[in-house]
Structure 1
Amino acid sequence: MDDQTLADLEFAWKACRAVKSNAILLAHHGASVGVGMGQVNRVDSCQLAVQRAGDRAAGSVAASDAFFPFADGLQVLLDAGVRAVVQPGGSVRDEEVVEAARAAGVAMYFTGERHFFH
């Protein structure tokens, strides 16, 4: 993992904390490029973040304020070309989500700490 990707992941994780519930934040070169939030599920937030990022989604990193309960939200990010993801982990389906990232060659980092509580 290169230094720029790690710096982008750190920035995205910190910035994601300030976003409303079900937050997905895409970042590239130290700036947010797409944000999805306030949706009833993580898939919709992922789609919104990718839509707002447009072409900038490819090569970005993603932060999620809470775990991915299924791989479907992550798949939206993978299809958009996200290169790394940071999230708290803690889902009973973490292994399914990790395997989807691994199959796509995308790094997945777990913080063990959630930003989103309900």
Structure 2
Amino acid sequence: MTEIPDDIMKAANECVAQFRWNNDNRWHLFVARAIQAERERDGWQTMETAPKDGRFLAVVDGEVRVVAYGKTSHVPIEGFCLADQGPEDFDLCDPIAWQPLPAPPETEREAME
């Protein structure tokens, strides 16, 4: 399972604190995983939870684009950049929401294995 973001652990801790069994750390992790699974199921997430490695889908200027975190191609500025234009055009952008890239479709050969 992926690392649980701080905002999810905070929500889990607040939830568990309402019950008598709040001294058992296993409940915090259990609730945090449930919150994370629900968020991933819903798709779009806030940019505060966006990864700083790899590429993902993001909403930029009302369009869904492929975005990555890194340095721009023209100036050494780091931030979220459009990653669907080619290496020479890695331009800064201001995404408002993100979700992981979908898994690629299976090829016929993979489906037969």
When the two structures are superposed, what TM-score results if normalisation uses the length of structure 2? 0.23
Higher relative contact order, structure no. (Cα contacts within 8 Å, ≥ 6 residues apart): 1
When the two structures are superposed, what TM-score results if normalisation uses the length of structure 1? 0.22
Q: Select the structure that is richer in helix.
A: 1
